[in-house]
Amino acid sequence: MQIISLFMNKSQISQGKNIIVYILLEKFAVAIFFFMFFNLPYVQNAHGNPWEKKDLKGLYKSQANVVHRRATNTIDPVLSRLDTIWKTRRKNEIHNFARQPIGNITNDKMTREKYQQSHDAISDYQETFIDSITNHLDENIDQSLIYDNWSYWISGNIEYGKHGSTQNASLINFQSDGLIITFEKNLRQNILLGIGITFGEDKSSAGEKADRMTTNDYGLVIYSHTPIGGTYSIQTIHGFNKYGMYTYREPTANMISGKRLGFQVFNSIRLIKDVKVNKLIFRPYSRFDVGFSSLRPYREEGGKNTISFSEQKILMFKSNLGFLVEYDWFTRFGKLSPHGQIEHVLDLSKSSSVNSFYHNNHGVLHHANIDDLRQSSWRYSLGLDFKFFNSALSASYTRSEESEAHLPDQPNRESDLLMFNVMVNY
């Protein structure tokens, strides 16, 4: 009995040791699991689909957005410049006055002799005198714009805005700065031809971790203005941009960065008409923007789980229909022009697709539609321009809203834009 009891005690001790070893191994395995889960989240997801991350998809959606935005930020200042020239010439034609030195305006004082000392007579004379001052101010503005059929001007703008989040992409905030330097010549029959160089910088961020991108670009723009009849005109713009995009994201403590190169060609044509009602100027217009962009393949650097991206081709085709309303208020310091704009934008641009893969898992190729722009939207804008001598300051706020429900992969067109612009003519 003692032998059997001793054997059973040894067996129980052996089983107890096995249980202790099992418990220790189990705790060790759980500790390794928690370490990998909390300290190596990116490694754990390295073989998943990168486009399931909203911040990452928002970051690369912004690459498609920035080429559209930079083209628009080149087109709009040129159109604003052409509007100023066209409006000034149209008003001069309506008033049908001849160029004269400012001293000749004093000759209008002689008209007082034909008026009686009545309130109506004084009012009529004041209106005549103010018209003379107004016409002469317009004439000086026109001379500063086009001197001896040649001129050049510089325009700088700053734009702040955001694109709302979608089901698959995070909110995108951006700041876009641009500079345009152009030379232009006035040809026969008031046909204007200009050429200029452009520079820009765009900063975008997506999501709470602030995955971000900085884009630098430079390019060339050629434009023309051709009057048709008395109240119509056609304005065309052709442009080319070269891009350098620098991306930064921090999925873990390690920074992952990349550099992507690309180019863009675009064209814009607008038909506009002048309609004057009292002191208000209405300009209904139709505008078409087309463009093509190519973003080169590139590879991220800075960590084990960086991603490589294939070439991305971005098409732009937009049809805009809208009208401008402007009121000119002359002061002794310059001309104030509050204005408003309503525009319907039909975006028929095709989706931009791209392939990607993790470097530590070359066998799995991931495909995603970065942008789906088949939608329409309404744009509402309010602004104020201040023109004095050969310079102009302007500020505007634009609200863009979709006119139809967007799909999960479509960028949200509910955006807010605030733009400041400075233009100097020489």
Digit-coded pLDDT (tens) for 198-237: 999 999 888 766 678 899 999 999 999 988 877 888 999 9
| pTM of the model as a whole | 0.71
Tell me if 289 sits within 8 A of 316, measured CB to CB: yes
> For residue 58, what is the enclosing H or E element?
helix 54-95
Residues 324-350: tens digit of each pLDDT:
999 888 777 788 889 999 999 888 877
Same-domain status, 290 and 141: yes
Same-domain status, 143 and 34: no
Instruction: Classify residue 122: in a domain, yes or no.
Output: no
Q: What is the pLDDT of residue 4?
A: 45
Question: What confidence category does residue 286 fall into, taking pLDDT thresholds of 50, 70 and 90?
Answer: very high
> For residue 420, what is the enclosing H or E element?
strand 415-425
Range picked from 65-74, 289-298, 342-351, 383-392 for highest mean pLDDT: 289-298
| CATH classification of the domain holding 85 | 2.40.128.130
Instruction: Classify residue 8: in a domain, yes or no.
Output: yes
Tell me if 285 sits within 8 A of 268, measured CB to CB: no
Same-domain status, 27 and 152: no
Same-domain status, 89 and 225: yes
Spatial distance between the Cα atoms of 320 and 29, rounded to a whole number of angstroms: 62
Same-domain status, 297 and 346: yes
Mean pLDDT score across all residues of the chain: 74
Instruction: Classify residue 46: in a domain, yes or no.
Output: no
> For residue 408, what is the enclosing H or E element?
none
Instruction: Classify residue 145: in a domain, yes or no.
Output: yes
Same-domain status, 27 and 149: no
Q: Give residue 86's domain range.
A: 54-94+137-425
Instruction: Classify residue 319: in a domain, yes or no.
Output: yes
Tell me if 183 sits within 8 A of 193, measured CB to CB: no
Same-domain status, 7 and 79: no
Same-domain status, 15 and 144: no
> For residue 50, what is the enclosing H or E element?
none
Q: What is the pLDDT of residue 328?
A: 83
Question: What confidence category does residue 417 fall into, taking pLDDT thresholds of 50, 70 and 90?
Answer: confident
Q: What is the pLDDT of residue 24?
A: 59
Residues 88-139: tens digit of each pLDDT:
665 555 444 334 444 444 444 444 444 444 545 555 544 555 555 555 444 4
Domain count, the chain: 2
**DSSP string for 232-256:** EEEEEEEEEEEEEEEEEE-SSSS-E
Bigger pLDDT: 279 or 30? 279
Please say if the pLDDT value at position 194 is more than 70. yes
Instruction: Classify residue 196: in a domain, yes or no.
Output: yes
Share of the chain above pLDDT 90, in %: 19
Who contacts 8 (Cβ-Cβ below 8 Å, separation ≥6)?
Answer: none
